[in-house]
């Protein structure tokens, strides 16, 4: 089972083009994160709890591909449930949340109109609540617990996440890394076909 997890500000459809061009025999799903915490407090702990329940629903090993927030959820799950994860793909993912960046995002969110969030699934207050609740996250001491083959992907223009990508590659035992040209943070939107090709080769080499 291939599970794709989008980033904050995206939705499940953000993976549509990549999934359409990805040649794999495994069934794939793109989880919509707001649906996991429907009618519940939107903080990281609760979102991760519901994501874990979602993943535990499947009996077969999982191929997890996550971008940004989705990558953090996938990494957290792979650390705590190594027996459940067959492969892991982390795109634009941090190993330790940069508090300064989170505070800046929260400040920016405050000044954006509510309509800017209407199509993202989370309200403005939920965006702010979620980002504030992530400041404590630090996976650096646990990266060696990821047991599965892992690929770290980062857009060549994603300055914010490039250093973290190199640290993830160094800290995860079975990790490789690819930089995608002409892509920023949202690799699945900027270069979906290149991403599909990389994932196909990664799955084939770890079949």
Span 14-32, pLDDT tens digits: 999 999 988 765 688 999 9
Bridge partners of residue 82, in order along the sequence: none
Domain ranges of the chain: 2-97+138-205
Predicted confidence at residue 145, as pLDDT, reads 98
Predicted confidence at residue 37, as pLDDT, reads 92
Buried b / exposed e along 62-98 (16+ C-beta atoms within 10 A):
bbbbbbbbbbbbbbbbbbeeeebbbbbbbbbbbbebe
Span 80-116, pLDDT tens digits: 999 999 999 999 999 998 866 666 666 566 656 666 6
Mean pLDDT of 131-147: 95
For residue 121, the 8-state DSSP code is: S
Span 52-90, pLDDT tens digits: 999 999 999 999 999 999 999 999 999 999 999 999 999
Q: What is the mean pLDDT of the chain?
A: 90
Domain covering 2-97+138-205: architecture:
3-Layer(aba) Sandwich (3.40)
Mean pLDDT of 134-141: 94
Residue from 113, 108, 183, 198 nearest 150 by CA: 198
Threshold 0.75, pTM exceeds: yes
Find out whether 166 and 158 touch, Cβ atoms under 8 Å: no
Predicted confidence at residue 122, as pLDDT, reads 79
């Amino acid at each position: 089972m291939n599970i794709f997890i989008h980033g904050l500000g995206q939705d499940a459809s953000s993976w549509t083009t990549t999934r359409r061009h990805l040649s794999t025999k495994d069934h794939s799903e793109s989880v919509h994160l707001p649906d996991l915490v429907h009618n519940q407090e939107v903080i990281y702990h609760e979102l991760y709890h519901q994501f874990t329940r979602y993943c535990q629903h499947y009996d077969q090993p999982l191929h997890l591909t996550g971008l940004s927030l989705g990558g953090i959820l996938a990494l957290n799950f792979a650390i705590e449930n190594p027996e459940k994860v067959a492969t892991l793909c982390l795109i634009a993912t941090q190993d330790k949340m940069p508090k300064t960046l989170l505070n800046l995002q929260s400040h920016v969110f405050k000044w954006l109109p509510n309509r800017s969030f209407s199509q993202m699934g989370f309200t403005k207050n939920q965006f702010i609540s979620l980002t504030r609740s992530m400041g404590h996250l630090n996976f650096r001491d646990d990266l060696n617990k990821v047991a599965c083959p892992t690929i770290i992907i980062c857009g060549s223009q994603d300055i914010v996440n490039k250093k973290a990508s190199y640290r993830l590659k160094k800290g995860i035992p079975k990790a490789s890394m690819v930089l995608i040209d002409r892509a920023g943070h949202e690799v699945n939107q900027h270069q979906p076909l290149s991403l599909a090709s990389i994932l196909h080769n990664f799955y084939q080499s770890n079949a």
